[in-house]
Amino acid sequence: MPNAIFSSLPTTVFEEMSGLARANGAVNLGQGFPDDPGPEAVRAKAADAVLNGYNQYPPMAGLPELRQAVANHYGRTQELDLDWASEVTVTSGATEALAASFLALIEPGDEVIVFQPFYDAYPPLIRRAGGVPKLVRLEPPHWRFTREMLEAAFTPRTRLVVLNNPINPTGVVLPDEDLALLAEFCVTHDAVAVCDEVWEQVVFDGRRHRPLIAFPGMRERTVKIGSAGKMFGLTGWKVGFLCAAPALTHSLARAHQFLTFTTPPNLQAAVAWGLENAADWFRDMPAGLQRSRDRLADGLRREGFAVLPSQGTYFLNVDLPGSGIVEGDRDFCLRAVKEAGVAAIPVSAFYEAHPVTTIARLCFSKGDATLDEGVARLAKARDLSIRASRSTTPA
């Protein structure tokens, strides 16, 4: 019999909604990916490495040039002091880095704190590694956790905390005081933080990403995960990084060697080049996305939608009741993609217990025409939804 943890799961909401978008010829503001091809110089390096470079197994921990480039990049941008040889491992995307972290660091029965809404891969991977997810439920509009919530979640069995920051799907970039509070709990409870920081380069309005590993007491107890897919807007590349103190890295690398062992060397070479040569990209890319965020938010507000703030990531959220929509988020998103030709992601898909069902996530890493068409179609979806609920509500 197949394992129940995975066989009981539906297909991920991203695949489901992109499939429906394709089937219905919809504007896809669901799954998070840019619709431009990404930095040409980085892609040219990859093409050159395929044709003229080495295409056999690279070293298990990653190409030294990429591991050095990762350490240098985080030194420049986040003032971290990572030793590339003992503290950086290249993985096949952040997803593999997460799986390796859970396999390497969880003992059966360990409790793992996870904040809802979560990136959907976390709980099944944690359970399959023998962990017990302890869910902390966050709510709109601010999505913040408090000391009381952490006190209720941490127990003597807490082994790991999974923190996604900047946060998908909420678009929140956590303030220093929240990071310091979580660090305090990790230190007091001797827990390790697995920090999914794939969106670290995608922060707006002059913000700077602050890694939890830099907070007092966290240097030896944090696994920092990054993804070139998000850094360069090349989501299909699946080149990720695991950064952690040597003792943690030793275990993480043992898990990685039996998950994928390596990651395509030509993509690694191109990412290494990009990290060392793309200062302009890291300035211009967030600025462009911020303009797209504002275009989508302004368009939605003009149509009467209630838009929540987005401080980072490719995403902004719409409050459905505040926009006049009484339908639940999943029903509204299914109606939008099938009847109005626009895909969005229901935020309830990022909860396992007591879901928030009033928010739809929209991806704004798209060209202006796509965003404008998306707004028009969302307005149509809202009108259809309002009409449908009127006709089913008894007078």
Secondary structure letter of residue 98 according to DSSP: H
Secondary structure letter of residue 129 according to DSSP: T
Instruction: In angstroms, give the least distance from the CB of 233 to ligand PMP.
Output: 11
Nearer to ligand GLN by Cβ, of 63 and 98: the residue is 98
Secondary structure letter of residue 349 according to DSSP: G
* Contacting residue, 119, 185, 241, 351, with ligand PMP by CB under 6 A: 119
Among ligand PMP, ligand GLN, none, the one that 249 touches (CB under a kind-dependent 5 to 8 A) is none
Q: Rule CB under 6 A: which of 277-296 touch ligand PMP?
A: none
* Contacting residue, 89, 168, 201, 358, with ligand GLN by CB under 6 A: 168
Helix ranges, 260-392 (H): 265-277, 279-302, 329-335, 368-392
Per CB under 6 A, 263 contacts ligand PMP: no
Q: In this structure, what token pair is assigned to residue 272?
A: 């290494």
Instruction: In angstroms, give the least distance from the CB of 28 to ligand PMP.
Output: 14
Nearer to ligand GLN by Cβ, of 32 and 34: the residue is 32
* Contacting residue, 195, 198, 278, 336, with ligand PMP by CB under 6 A: 198
For residues 310, 145, 122 and 64, what is the CA-based torsion angle, rounded to 10 degrees?
70
Closest CA to 345 of 356, 353, 334: 334
**Termini Cα distance of the chain:** 51
Kindly list the distances between the CA atom of residue 351 and the CA atoms of 100, 115, 145, in Å, as whole numbers in the listed order. Answer: 23, 9, 15
Per CB under 6 A, 344 contacts ligand PMP: no
Strand order across the 345-346 sheet: 306-307, 315-319, 359-363, 345-346
Under a CB-based contact definition with an 8 Å cutoff, are residues 132 and 111 in contact? yes
Under a CB-based contact definition with an 8 Å cutoff, are residues 202 and 175 in contact? no
* Contacting residue, 18, 101, 227, 385, with ligand PMP by CB under 6 A: 227
Per CB under 6 A, 170 contacts ligand PMP: no
Total binding residues for ligand GLN by CB under 6 A? 5
Per CB under 6 A, 268 contacts ligand PMP: no
* Contacting residue, 30, 32, 117, 123, with ligand PMP by CB under 6 A: 32
Per CB under 6 A, 3 contacts ligand GLN: no
* Contacting residue, 93, 133, 171, 274, with ligand PMP by CB under 6 A: 93
Binding flags for ligand GLN, 334-353, as an x/- string (CB under 6 A): --------------------
The Cβ of residue 217 has, within 10 Å, a number of other Cβ atoms equal to 12
Classified as helix, coil or strand, 50 is helix
Per CB under 6 A, 229 contacts ligand PMP: yes
Helices 265-277 & 40-52, crossing angle to 10 degrees? Answer: 140
Among ligand GLN, ligand PMP, none, the one that 31 touches (CB under a kind-dependent 5 to 8 A) is ligand GLN
Q: Rule CB under 6 A: which of 5-34 touch ligand GLN?
A: 12, 14, 31-32
Kindly list the distances between the CA atom of residue 168 and the CA atoms of 258, 329, 349, in Å, as whole numbers in the listed order. Answer: 28, 17, 12
The length of the chain in residues reads 395
Name the residue with the smallest CB distance to ligand PMP: 93
Q: In this structure, what token pair is assigned to residue 229?
A: 């897919």
Q: List residues binding ligand GLN (CB under 6 A).
A: 12, 14, 31-32, 168
Residues that bind ligand PMP (CB under 6 A): 32, 93-95, 119, 164, 168, 196, 198, 227, 229, 235, 238, 240
